[in-house]
């Protein structure tokens, strides 16, 4: 099994699609009510769905990049505003936080081997 995609809400499709393309994502579906993007690396995708509800999603979307600090610096030069600069977390990830035009929370991070294999990893199955 593999995760296909995550869909988040957008009230302004043009502002939201512009935002994600400027971040470096490739838009592969473009309709008035739905947009889908490929991540620059790997096989992951995510999408936007038009909504008239002002509240952002309560989900948090994580995008991983080995050169997190360089990526954040490049985005800041393009005008992106971060709620949190790259910061080392107690759970061994380095994270920066920003929000898309709809207010959805995005975390840009690098975790290296701790992404799937932290010191406290467990393996439970049914």
Helix (H, G, I), strand (E, B) or coil at 14: helix
- pLDDT tens digits for range 73-126: 999 999 999 999 999 999 999 999 999 999 999 999 999 999 999 999 999 999
Q: What is the pLDDT of residue 2?
A: 85
CATH of the domain at 39: 3.10.180.10
In 41-93, beta strands by DSSP E: 45-50, 60-64, 82-88
Q: How many domains, in total, are found in the chain?
A: 1
Report, as an integer, the average pLDDT of 17-38: 97
Residue 121 in any domain: the answer is no
**Domain that residue 43 falls in:** 5-115
pLDDT band at 3 (very low <50, low <70, confident <90, very high): confident
Are 94 and 86 in contact by the 8 Å Cβ rule? The answer is yes
Helix (H, G, I), strand (E, B) or coil at 68: helix
- pLDDT tens digits for range 46-58: 999 999 998 988 9
Contacts of 11 (CB under 8 A, 6+ apart): 50, 51, 52, 53, 54, 102
């Amino acid at each position: 099994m593999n995760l296909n995609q995550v869909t988040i809400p957008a009230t302004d499709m043009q502002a939201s699609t512009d935002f994600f393309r400027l971040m470096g994502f490739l838009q592969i579906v473009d309709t008035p009510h739905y947009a889908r993007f490929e991540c620059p690396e790997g096989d992951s995708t995510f999408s936007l769905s038009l909504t008239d509800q002002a509240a952002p999603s309560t989900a948090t979307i994580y995008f991983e990049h080995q050169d997190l600090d360089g990526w954040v610096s490049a985005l800041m030069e393009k005008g992106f505003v971060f709620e949190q600069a790259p910061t080392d977390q107690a759970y061994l990830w380095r994270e920066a936080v920003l929000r898309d035009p709809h207010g959805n929370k995005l975390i840009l991070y690098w975790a290296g081997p701790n992404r799937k294999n932290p010191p406290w990893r467990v393996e439970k199955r049914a």
